Structure 1
Amino acid sequence: MKKIVFLSLMFTGFCAFSQIGTRLPSAQIGDSKWTFGGYAGLGGAFGSGGGGTTLYITPRFGYKVTEDFEAGIAGNFSWSNSRYYSSTMVGVGPFANYYFSRSFFLSGMFQEYFINQKDKVNDVKYSGNESALYLGGGYMQRLGERTYMQIGGMYNVLYNRDKSVFAGGFIPHVGIVYGL
C-alpha cells in the first residue's frame, strides 16, 4: 500500500512540477492591482506498469498590496487514476509573495487539503485532511515587458513523514508570470 501511495504521489508531483504555469493578465486595462492565474498539468504513464492519468489545476487570485507585495487565495485540485490506485485532493488557503529587485521573491502559502484515496488492489480507502504551510522563494528572470520566468522551491514546514500522505515536504516549481 505504501509503495503504491508513494509512487502515485511521486508521479503526481512530477507531473505537477514539470508543468509551466501562467498568471493570467488583469481583467482591467491599465494598472490593476488584481492578479489572476495559476498552474495546470496533465500527465500519464503508459505501459505494463498499470498506466495512469494525472490532472493538476491550481487557480490563484491575488491583490497587489504594494508594488512588491501580493496576497490572495490559492486553491488546487489534483486527480490521479491508474489500474491500481486512485486519488482526489482539493486544497485551499491564503498565500503571500514578496518581490525584491524584480529578480528574487519570497513566498508563503497555507493549504488545507481534503483527500480521498483508494488502493484498488487491496480495496482499502482513505479519506481525511492535511494542513500544509509552504515557505520558500526563488529567482525571477525577466522575459518581456510584464513577463517573468520564476524558478524556485517551497518546503512544507508542517510535513511529518510518518503521518503525511505526501511523499516529501519540498516542492520545486518553474513558471511563467504575466502582469507583475
Structure 2
Amino acid sequence: MNYLIKCNTPLYSVVLLFLIAGTTVFSQNNDAFQSKNQFWDKVQFGGGLGLGIGNGFTNIAVAPSAIYNFNQYVAAGVGLQYSYLKQKNLFSSQMYGASIIGLVNPLPEVQLSVELEELRVNVSYENINVEDDFWNTGLFLGAGYRAQNITIGARYNVLFNKDKNVYGDAFMPFVRVYF
C-alpha cells in the first residue's frame, strides 16, 4: 500500500501542476481579453456622408473617422475623406485624403479641436481642357458646443490660401457626431 501511495504522489503532483498552470494561462488570456475590450470601449466612430444633386450638379462625399478617448477631457483620432463634385459642361473634381484630429473638453459642454487635413485634389475643366492636380493642406482650430455625442461649432483654417484652396472661406461651421 505504501508503494501505491508513492507511485500516485508524483502523478497527483503532475495533475495538480497542470491544473494550476492551466488556470494561470486562462487568467492571463482573460486579462488580455479585458485589456482589448477596454481599448475598444474608449473608441468612438463617426464621420460624414453627403449627397447633393441639382440641375446638372452632383456632389458626393464620404468621410469616416474614429477617435480614442484617453479620458473625459482629451481624445485624438484619424479620418479619411473622399469627395466627387461635378458641374455639367463646366468641371469635375475628386478629392481624397486623411486627417488627424485632437479634441479637448475643458467643460462637458465645450469642445476645442485642432485638425490637420491633407487632401489630394484633381480638377478637370471641361470647356478649356485643363487639368489641375494639387495637394491642399488645412490646419483647423475649432470650438463648439457639445451635447453627449454631438458637437456643433465652427473651425478656422489657419493655412487658408484664397488662390489655391478647395474651400471658399477659412471660417467653416461643422457638426461632429461620434458613437
Tell me which interval the TM-score lies in, with the shorter structure as reference length.
Answer: 0.7 to 0.9
Tell me the alpha carbon deviations over residues 66-95 of structure 1, each in whole angstroms, 9 at most, x when there is no partner.
122110111211111221210000121211
> Which residue matches 1:44?
53
**How far apart are 1:30 and its partner, in Å?**
10
> Which residue matches 2:32?
none
Separation (CA, whole Å) in 2 of partners of 1:56 and 1:170: 20
**How far apart are 1:140 and its partner, in Å?**
1.5
TM-score (norm 1): 0.72
Separation (CA, whole Å) in 2 of partners of 1:119 and 1:85: 4
Q: For this pair of structures, how many residues does the alignment match?
A: 142
Report the AA paired with residue 154 of structure 1: R
Separation (CA, whole Å) in 2 of partners of 1:53 and 1:156: 25
Separation (CA, whole Å) in 2 of partners of 1:159 and 1:31: 35
Q: Is residue 131 from structure 1 mapped to residue 140 from structure 2 by the alignment?
A: no
Tell me the alpha carbon deviations over residues 14-55 of structure 1, each in whole angstroms, 9 at most, x when there is no partner.
xxxxxxxxxxxxxx6998011112111111122xxxx21101
> Which residue matches 2:175?
174
CA-based RMSD of the aligned residues comes to 2.0
Matches within 5 A, 1:1-180: 32-46=41-55, 51-83=56-88, 84-141=90-147, 147-178=148-179
Which of structures 1 and 2 has the bigger CA Rg? 2
Uncovered stretches (5+) of structure 1, i.e. residues with no partner: 1-27, 142-146
8 Å Cα contact 2:47-2:177 kept in structure 1: no
> Which residue matches 2:8?
none
Uncovered stretches (5+) of structure 2, i.e. residues with no partner: 1-36
Report the AA paired with residue 51 of structure 2: L
8 Å Cα contact 2:60-2:83 kept in structure 1: yes
Report the AA paired with residue 110 of structure 1: L
Separation (CA, whole Å) in 1 of partners of 2:163 and 2:101: 26
Specify the SS of the correspondent of 1:161. Answer: coil
TM-score (norm 2): 0.72
